[in-house]
Amino acid sequence: MKKIIAVFVSVLGIALLLIFPKEVSEGIKTGLENSVRLLVPSLFPFMVLSSFMIRSNAYEYIGKIFFPLAKIFRLPESAVSAVVLSFVGGFPVGAKCVRLLYVSGKISHNEAERMMDFCVCSGPAFLITAVGVMMTGNVMSGVILYISQIISGVILGIVSGFFNKNCNEKRSVSTSESETDLINAFIASSADGARAIIELTGLVAIFSAVMNVISSIGIESRVMVIFLEVTTACKSITGAGGALWMVSLAAGYGGMCVHFQIFALLEDMGISRLRFEIFRVVNAILSSVITYVICIWFDLSVQTFAISENTNAEITSTSIMGAVSLVVMSAIFLLSLEQKNKMKLQT
């Protein structure tokens, strides 16, 4: 059956390329532009940082700082760094951290599966900068979207931990990927981040092409866009003057484009895809409800909006969180060089 599906998808793809060459090329171009302008600047620093924290064993100190989260979610302290980075970095940073912790033997299979119930959300760089400022022209709308994602994630994390029955499950034998040398850890982390961002960019381009072909045929629907690719979905909803809770629904689900990359990251871990999809749908509904309630509670004028006049402006190549991350990693890199030179002088 898998081979039949693969043949069908391949033949269909070739047919679309031959019948709709212009639409496919325009969709690819749009997808690549969205990746370069939106995803790469906001996600790449966190991809590198998340990998570096695991490889350099820095996650152990983060776990001690945020140890209350370990009790709230019924997880070991070593897993707290992945939770924090997933909330700050956005998807698929959380999945990448979970995989690194699992293959290094820091968390069990059950803990990894539970973490994937809630460590998947849109980050502040995308929601506040890209969606809030650039798409809606209202930074507060982006803040509301991000707060909704965090609240929803915390609720799902608590629920997932509350119903956990295998909290004493043994962890796998360590096959640690951590590096004792910070320079090597930084180089390996940069390669990890570049590989992940290339995969995501390719998927965004492909899904953008598919949606462009569907739109040209005239069967495009807002529901279909929401379930395919999150960046295009947010642009479509804001451009049509949709309600803010609809944007929250799209961001909460993440789109199959992101899901495919997460499935690829976790392929050999035996994570239940059905469970993952169920929690993604629940997260989408819950975050949209939270957004709707926040807008009513504060009587904000961001329930509906038209696309901002500034949406054609260029998005900056950096974000505040991304810049801070790069500065921290640069400082660690320089300190490691200084320490290495001192060791050489001593020897």
Query: What does the pLDDT profile of the chain (347 residues) look like in tens digits?
Result: 778 888 888 888 888 888 888 988 998 998 888 888 877 877 788 778 877 877 787 777 777 788 888 888 988 888 888 888 888 877 778 888 888 888 888 888 899 999 999 998 888 878 887 888 888 888 889 999 999 999 999 999 999 888 775 555 555 544 444 555 788 888 888 888 888 888 888 888 888 888 888 777 766 556 677 788 888 788 888 888 888 999 999 999 988 888 988 888 888 888 899 999 999 999 999 999 999 999 888 765 545 444 443 444 333 333 444 444 444 444 444 444 444 444 444 55
Phi and psi at residue 304, to the nearest 5°: -130, 160
In this structure, is residue 168 part of a structural domain? Answer: no
Which residues constitute the domain of residue 320?
Answer: 21-163+195-325
Phi and psi at residue 243, to the nearest 5°: -75, 155
Would you tell me the crossing angle of helices 2-19 and 21-34 to the nearest 10 degrees?
100
In this structure, is residue 8 part of a structural domain? Answer: no
In this structure, is residue 340 part of a structural domain? Answer: no
In this structure, is residue 31 part of a structural domain? Answer: yes
Domains of the chain: total: 1
Contacts of 176 (CB under 8 A, 6+ apart): 104, 105
Give the pLDDT score at 337: 44
Give the pLDDT score at 117: 92
Spell out a b/e string for 28-39, using b for 16 or more CB atoms within 10 Å of the CB, else e: bebbeebbebbb
In this structure, is residue 344 part of a structural domain? Answer: no
Give the pLDDT score at 311: 40
Residues linked to residue 304 through DSSP beta bridges, in sequence order: 243
In this structure, is residue 184 part of a structural domain? Answer: no
pTM for this model (two decimals): 0.74
In this structure, is residue 11 part of a structural domain? Answer: no
Give the pLDDT score at 144: 93
- Asked if 230 and 258 count as a contact pair (C-beta separation under 8 A), the reply is yes
In this structure, is residue 331 part of a structural domain? Answer: no
Give the pLDDT score at 341: 47
The residue type of 250 is A
- The CA-based angle 112-117-120, given to 5 degrees, is 95
